[in-house]
Amino acid sequence: MKKFIACLLVLMTLITAIACTKSENNPDQTSENTEGKADTTDGTSTSEEEAPPSIPDTVTGNGSKIVIQTEGWANYSPLDILDIGITEMNNDGINDAAYTRDRRIEETLDVEIEVREYGHYPESYQVLSDLVSSGDCDIDFCVMRSAIFTTAITNDLLVDLNTDDLVYFDPDKSWWDRNSYDSLSIANIHYGITGDFTTADDLTYWCVYFNKQINSDLQLENPYEIVKNGEWTYDKMFEMASKAAKDLDGIDGMTDSDQWGVSMIRDILGGALNTVGINIVEKDENDLPYLSFKSESNISKMQHLLELFYNDEYVYCFANRPAGTKDEVSIFTSGNTLFTIGGVYYGPQMRNSDTEFGMLPMPKYDSSQEYISATSPLFLSILCTPKTNKDNNELKGAFMELYSYLGSELVVPEFYDRLLKWKVASDDESREMMDYIFNNTAYDIGGLFNFGDISFLIIDMMYTKNTNIVSMWDSNEVKVQQGINDLLTALQNNS
């Protein structure tokens, strides 16, 4: 492996020298890995079409602990992980399904599940790093935020999931997202995966919420039909949004008391790029990352998106609103905007409002493109296996397979039911939209690995309404390439 990666590093040195030429002449591409999760939007798991994992009765933990470390995002409760390590029932569908799963797997494998929760990823990372460094790490699984994923790989904290030692783990099963498994690998080393182990990754998908009352009052087209007809594009959404803007408070200039067309946060820009087929970094036939952003088509698409997003007449971007004004969710829940672009994790705030809303997938660039889903490149929850002092890979492989399978059978249906009960329980079309929102996911490893802080550099353009894309990229391209080289160097040193 060390010799192989050393050769790769020589190759990457050559790539660095021609990076600009390669990215400019690279054929415009969309992600090849866009097959999303299994469709569970009808409230039942498709895993019923597959046999459950076949785990022999001889696989047993003999009463030992399985330790799972989870991490939140800046102690922000909408992104908390609420379906791992549940100790009691409370009449909440997801909680009680997760409780049932935990008790069932504890009995089946004769293990005790211990969960160590941390409110923010830096704290969790430090604990993991200290334990691995001490040689006394007892953590079996870590549900890690993507913002810290590259650092964990670089510092040799994680092990390859692609090993025969993890007996019974099968990433091709529908309760795993094989696409994520392939996308999150480097040089064919698989450090993470998403799937039905937890629904926390589903919360990080981007989507569009629309206000049904405003849409009806303006006699606009039915958004559901637009989606199903393949015409749900950014141009179409912003054309509709332009008709919704209205001065309601009589104050000169648009305020948060007026009616807007669309609200958003800066974070959605990275996801929006993915949904129109733009990837910062892609991988070659050797599973090696290379820069793929700077093509004429990508620059043109991003320029057009920014022109739409920066329209002050009807676009309410919280990143550049005056201090003390409503955020992008509050202005929607108060009934003051037709659309808001945000995360599935907005759901609890939507549920607590009086606004009747529907959920839609992210738009396409044009009608000829297929719908592409995207997640946050920073707070996606990734299942990893840390370096540990335990010799229990057979048990670990059985546990992760059963845990994800039971998640698909018990927890995921409750998750979708909850989404549909957030003010849209009687809306059959919103149920159909779930399929568009969660399937066909594009994972841009440039954003997920955050090479050279490119994820932040892109979304921070929204703060100043920067439209000089070429300048932004040219001034940071070497830094992004260096981030790739640094990761490959670390892989060589760690092997």
Give DSSP secondary structure letters for 130-183.
HHHHHT-----EEEEEGGGHHHHHHTT-B--S-STTSTT--TTSTTB-HHHHHH
pLDDT of residue 427: 63
Closest CA to 113 of 79, 81, 141: 141
Of 34-43, 56-65, 422-431, give the lowest mean pLDDT range: 34-43
pLDDT of residue 175: 97
Tell me: the pLDDT tens digits for 295-332? 999 999 999 999 999 999 999 998 778 777 888 988 99
Question: Would the pLDDT of 21 be above 90?
Answer: no
Question: Which residues on neighbouring strands pair with residue 189, listed in sequence order?
Answer: 186
pLDDT of residue 5: 45
Q: Dihedral (C-alpha) 139, 140, 145, 149: value to the nearest 10 degrees? A: 90
Tell me: the pLDDT tens digits for 234-293? 999 999 999 999 998 888 888 888 999 999 999 999 999 999 999 999 999 999 999 999
What CA–CA distance (Å, rounded) separates 384 from 197? Answer: 11
Let me know: does 426 contact 358? Beta carbons within 8 Å: no
| C-alpha count within 13 angstroms, C-beta hemisphere, residue 338 | 25
Angle between helix 428-438 and helix 412-421 axes, rounded to 10 deg:
130
Q: Which amino acid is at 368?
A: S
Question: Would the pLDDT of 179 be above 90?
Answer: yes
What CA–CA distance (Å, rounded) separates 144 from 125? Answer: 8
Question: Would the pLDDT of 83 be above 60?
Answer: yes
Question: Would the pLDDT of 147 be above 80?
Answer: yes
pLDDT of residue 32: 40
140 to 67, 115, 388, 414: CA distances (angstroms): 5, 10, 7, 26
Let me know: does 453 contact 482? Beta carbons within 8 Å: no
pLDDT of residue 253: 82
Q: Which amino acid is at 75?
A: N
Q: Which helix (H) or strand (E) holds 470?
A: helix 469-474
Let me know: does 226 contact 215? Beta carbons within 8 Å: no
pLDDT of residue 436: 93
Whole-prediction pTM: 0.88
CA end-to-end span of the chain: 7
pLDDT of residue 130: 97
What CA–CA distance (Å, rounded) separates 345 from 381? Answer: 13
Let me know: does 381 contact 117? Beta carbons within 8 Å: no
Question: Would the pLDDT of 44 be above 50?
Answer: no
